[in-house]
Structure 1
Amino acid sequence: MTGSPGGVVATSHTLSTRAGVQILQAGGNAVDAAIAACAVQGVVAPETCGVGGDLFALVHLPGHSTPLALNSSGRAGSGVDAAALRAAGLDEIPRAHPAAIPVPGCVDGWATLSSRLGKLGLAAVLEPAVRLASEGFPANDELVAAFRASAASLAGVEAAAPMLAASRGATVVRSQLAATLRLVADGGRAAFYEGAPGRAISAAVDGVITADDLRHDQADWVDPLSVDVWGSTGWTVPPNSQGYLGIGGCAVLERLGWADDPADPQSWHLQIEAQRALAADRDDLAVDPGRVPVPLDRLLDAARLDTVAASVDPGAARERHSAAPAAGGTAYLCVVDGDGMAVSLIQSNFHGIGSLVGAGAAGFLLHDRGRGFSLIPDHPGELAPGRRPLHTLSPSLWTRGERLAMVLGARGGHVQPQLVQQVAAFVLGAGLDPDEAQARPRWTIEPPEGPTGAPVPSGSRVRVEPDVPARVVDGLRRRGHEVVPVDGPQPGWGPVSVIQVDDAGWRLSARDPRVATTAVATA
């Protein structure tokens, strides 16, 4: 475990962590370091994120009881047409379809964070990413495996060529992406969205995203959602993010009288059922902010959480619509600087490499977040121009009064809130340190499958890592859970990145052992 009274950076890649530390040592603050780490992650791990994806962030300012929340997720292009897709016989949006690709929000997120809160400016914080893209970096196993798995679909995609040619340890040079990042460093968001990269995005989606769409800033400061639990306040970005499920699941657990005991099936049962109960109506609620069918401040109010907790049977798994299966393609990172500013930032392609569509010669791949839209007529999340889709990204930030208590998040697609709930419960609810919390075996909820392989409303299907005691597995089965032990620790169930701040102000962090590249370092 890493402990420091000064700056700490925790990311899912050694080179990203190193870039964040370098920026802190150069006089930057937590926001500068987070942008630098995020940009490097998109260069060296394009199977997780990049400038073709979206971004959410929470920022704690010392002496402030409420963090800032940034929603920089992109909106659907003006040319999308849900009725036309239905008429073509589709009931969901295909991965590489232009409608699957909203405007990427990442660069707007960087520019907005930097201009309001940064100290060094975009040119300085993007320099490590520009250097790695132009000079090269070693390919790791995850990058090689991801691009080989999609090699047939990526054939002829310029942005993918450097990674498709890579073997483990080989140097990857991304000259086209380096040029795009230099444009952003020198010219900010206008150089990206209104320049050559923006034109490449529009061309890649057959004009579904227009020049006017690209001129519209994707980054919005929003009021965060919060809930009080275990003597702390958990904060997250409101819908279209599903982040409320992670912090809200903790509040349901507290209402259920949960007590941590890794050998007690009841402790596991309540964790699982708290999340299943709260997530049952996620697809109707984690939609475009203007389309959420209930007031946002009611998502985590006491009355609703009381009702959710009352719906949990302490002795048996109830039938519910389970959460959707996990999908990779996300990078979460967190930074606390020496002055106490903290950033909880998450950035993503969605399904692994994303849509498998490249932005021409601009050197990056485009996300497929538009697949979070519904094609059901009049559904709150129905695809339409200018709307934001359901987003799995679930950052969290925790405070005690005006003091920072923790920043926490994970990759993992739809299961991100499940991972946030588990680790937050271990650290804040059970008093474990981050190292102990990271080492605990994890569970994730899967939908049961019907005769055609489609998810159906039914009981609880749970996958568990191999260190779960046999007594727990047997006890969960007796409570009605279908339990599926997996072969080993799951890289896709994380990595979780976490920095806890104790009462003395020490920053405590530990890397997630499930992913080899995960790194924590002090500045």
Structure 2
Amino acid sequence: MRRLITLFTAVILSIVSIAQDRITGHNFATRSEVIAQNGMAATSHPLATQVALDILKAGGSAVDAAIAANAVLGLMEPTGCGIGGDLFAILWDAKSQKLHGLNASGRSPKNMSLEYLKEKGYKKIPSYGPLPVTVPGAVDGWFELHSKFGKLPMDKILQPAIAYARGGFPVTELIAYYLERSGRILGQYPNFKETYMPNGKMPAKGKIFKNPDLANTYQKIAKGGRDAFYKGDIAKTIAKYIQEQGGFLTYDDIASHKSEWVNPVSANYRGYDVWELPPNGQGIAALQILNILEGFDIASMGFGSAEYLHHFIEAKKLAYEDRAHHYADMQVENVPLDRLISKDYAAERRELLNPNRAARSYEPGSMDTPSTIYLTVADKDGNMVSLIQSNYRGMGSGMTPWGLGFVLQDRGEGFNLEEGYLNTYAPGKRPFHTIIPGFITKNGKPYISFGVMGGGMQPQGHVQIVVNMIDFGMNLQEAGDAPRVQHIGSSEPTGEKMTDGGTVLLETGFDWEVIRALIGKGHKIQWDLGGFGGYQAIMWDEKNGVYYGASESRKDGQAAGW
């Protein structure tokens, strides 16, 4: 009997050990991917994911579900998005077997000039208040996507968000944390407290929060379409509010807004085509980094090694110098897009990378020949949408027009006020943008719709996901859960220069020997508990006819299918 007990105990301990190995045997914890046949949604909030699934089950397309989820997130995660902000999307259309790109970013006021900003002594456009406010493009983006790829009527798509806005929803711990931080900064601006701070406080974890003003705004959009936002009372209210605060945005600026359908651009990385949108966003920085890294045997270096991290950081520095000098609104400036993402140019830049030493600065390449939510949805017909939407700086400018229930973005801060740059401020121009959706195809067929939200982290995050999967053999969920690195301090499109090599931020999970080796190569290392983005992804498995979903453990994210 004792022998049987001993044997039973050994078996149990063996099982426990195996179970523990899956978590504690690695430098990071992970969980299983979600697998489903009929559709998949991955967003940064479980309730938004459930709304997306409900729309899919009701016969809606991937675009219908994405819009519904985005509207819910604008209510429940105003610290990252809202209809006062902009939107970008990459969509795989199963019918045409083609990728489509949408740039739904807004432009600067037509009557605010660079001369005015200089006369007032501004070295950069302020982060908050009326001056950084640009036209909000998200709602027009919804209707552009819906007109081409929607199936259900917009009133049905927006109904879940309207119901939650009127009836209320429980605030999550993470969002409560960011709301409290935002309130400290933005509470000074007119109508912010009235909208987001009932009883003078930001809602705490578990509190039921309602936003009846936003419900009314959504209701007007559902009934009147995009013109209800851009040519009706909403536009008039926005313009009047901004001008009362000393800003320049006008009704005409808002009424004349139009999104742009663009062709996504790609770089092939070891047989996989990675797709991004062209500037005014920063997506091609990810392609530039991948092109540089492709010339090295990354797989042999090993995940988390000092050698890999060093090569990644230096490739990022090289790409971001170009980002600072050559990325801008392509409707206004002549951006040398083809050269920036070419393999020949990557080879030139690669020669500058010292495998043993961190560079304090790089020059941009010669061009002779410039806070956020992410979600992805896939439907039973094979359509996949990669969508990212943001106010910038979390809750945006603080400008909260009376009776509308949302904050306006502060994307104008992304302009450079020095003359001679492609991203220099001009009236009616789209600023440099950080938010980027990603997509991967294999042999001309859809493979992965993905994104990593989070300012300047985004191209770095895209690259780390791709490398984790292709070079290091991780699955869709592991690739997102693996510890990340972020380099900060590169030259910025707003004019700041890198002169000291910047700083490397590391999540926990990297060995001390690796950190010591990076310091030995000249890198400045700093621990950071946040700022590494938020990841969502969906992968299509053509062989088995199923979708895989992955979500972000750093946020409230959920991937779910049916």
Among candidates 43, 65, 77, match of residue 45 of structure 1: 77
Counting only pairs closer than 5 Å after superposition, residues 74-473 of structure 1 correspond to structure 2 as 74-152=106-184, 153-155=186-188, 157-165=190-198, 166-206=203-243, 208-259=248-299, 261-320=302-361, 329-447=371-489, 456-473=498-515
Q: Could you list the per-position Cα deviations for residues 487-509 of structure 1 after superposition, in whole angstroms to 9, with x for gaps in the alignment?
A: x4x3x312111112234243222
- TM (normalized to structure 1)? 0.93
Preserved contact between residue 473 and residue 483 of structure 1 (Cα < 8 Å): yes
Q: Could you list the per-position Cα deviations for residues 217-271 of structure 1 after superposition, in whole angstroms to 9, with x for gaps in the alignment?
A: 3311012111111211111111000011123322221122322512521111112
- TM (normalized to structure 2)? 0.87
Measure how far apart 1:3 and its partner are.
Answer: 1.3
Question: SS in structure 2 opposite 1:397?
Answer: strand
Question: SS in structure 2 opposite 1:201?
Answer: helix
Question: SS in structure 1 opposite 2:374?
Answer: strand
Gaps of 5+ in 2: 1-32, 365-370
Measure how far apart 1:448 and its partner are.
Answer: 8.3
Give the aligned partner of residue 45 of structure 2: 13
- Paired with 2:440 and 2:298, the residues of 1 have a C-alpha distance of 19
- Paired with 1:160 and 1:62, the residues of 2 have a C-alpha distance of 45
Q: How many residues of Structure 1 are paired with residues of Structure 2 in the alignment?
A: 510
Q: Could you list the per-position Cα deviations for residues 54-93 of structure 1 after superposition, in whole angstroms to 9, with x for gaps in the alignment?
A: 0000001126564100000000111212211111111011
Preserved contact between residue 247 and residue 396 of structure 1 (Cα < 8 Å): no
- Paired with 2:419 and 2:85, the residues of 1 have a C-alpha distance of 27
Give the aligned partner of residue 7 of structure 2: none
- Paired with 2:148 and 2:335, the residues of 1 have a C-alpha distance of 31
Q: Could you list the per-position Cα deviations for residues 316-340 of structure 1 after superposition, in whole angstroms to 9, with x for gaps in the alignment?
A: 21222699xxxxx200011111221
Preserved contact between residue 75 and residue 218 of structure 1 (Cα < 8 Å): no
- Paired with 2:190 and 2:228, the residues of 1 have a C-alpha distance of 23
Between stretches 253-262 and 158-167, larger displacement belongs to 158-167
Amino acid corresponding to residue 493 of structure 1 in structure 2: F
Preserved contact between residue 291 and residue 343 of structure 2 (Cα < 8 Å): no
Amino acid corresponding to residue 365 of structure 1 in structure 2: V
- Paired with 2:521 and 2:502, the residues of 1 have a C-alpha distance of 10
Preserved contact between residue 276 and residue 322 of structure 1 (Cα < 8 Å): no
Q: Could you list the per-position Cα deviations for residues 14-36 of structure 1 after superposition, in whole angstroms to 9, with x for gaps in the alignment?
A: 11111111110110111111111
Give the aligned partner of residue 90 of structure 2: 58
Change (3 A) 1:321 1:172: farther
Between stretches 1-10 and 413-422, larger displacement belongs to 1-10
Amino acid corresponding to residue 479 of structure 2 in structure 1: A
- Paired with 1:513 and 1:322, the residues of 2 have a C-alpha distance of 37
Give the aligned partner of residue 326 of structure 1: none
Preserved contact between residue 189 and residue 399 of structure 2 (Cα < 8 Å): no
CA RMSD of aligned residues (A): 2.0
Q: Could you list the per-position Cα deviations for residues 161-200 of structure 1 after superposition, in whole angstroms to 9, with x for gaps in the alignment?
A: 3432322211111000000001111111110111121112
Give the aligned partner of residue 557 of structure 2: 518
Measure how far apart 1:389 and its partner are.
Answer: 0.1
- Paired with 2:209 and 2:123, the residues of 1 have a C-alpha distance of 39
- Paired with 1:35 and 1:322, the residues of 2 have a C-alpha distance of 41
